[in-house]
Structure 1
Amino acid sequence: MTAQANGPFQIFFETGKSELGPEAQAEAKRAADFWNAHKDGKIALSGFVDSTGSADANAELAKKRAQAVAKVLTDNGVAADRIELRKPETVTAGVGDDRQARRVDVLAAQ
């Protein structure tokens, strides 16, 4: 299992895209399997974007990415009412790996 007891699972995206590639699909499925085995908690999805493009476009992209991950979770049996979409946190290019900026974290809601 790639996550600790409450995650986070990290699902990575290509620049400017909200579709899950094969690796992202596999990690989202692992997250769904984990949360199906741990039915007592709520799940928070937090989308991140890199600093390329406009802030408004990035906010929409982060939302679409989180919704895409939520769809994989629900398609794999996680109840939609357990999933909470959180406002994306901005990650600025030059701070760590840009790949880290293009992700959705799946973790236990606090």
Structure 2
Amino acid sequence: MKPGRTPCINPRCSRTGPADEFPGEMICGKCFRALPAEARAKHRGYWRELRKWDRRILRTTDELKRERMRDIRARVAWRLGLHWDREIKAPLLAPEKLVGLDTFLQEAGLS
């Protein structure tokens, strides 16, 4: 991999993104579109919520309200991180095994 690039979290994908835009982890568009529709919608909803609270924090002049809004934003960011780990990253790193003869033989140690 080239320096200054961040790889997609899907181990079977070879796409990368610029490290300055994606400093930690990233999922490429193709792998994101391959996720279940409800997981994608929920992930986009969390990002929409974060941006909404960012805008509200910037517009508010009352420092007490700002502090409360920052707490709410922190909770949404925490839920986004939890969703990223459980519903985006985990299925890609450890996909579910298909039900069938091959899986049964592999679990039984015969394959």
TM-score normalised to structure 1 length: 0.30
Q: Which structure is higher in helix share?
A: 2
- Structure of higher CA gyration radius: 2
TM-score normalised to structure 2 length: 0.30
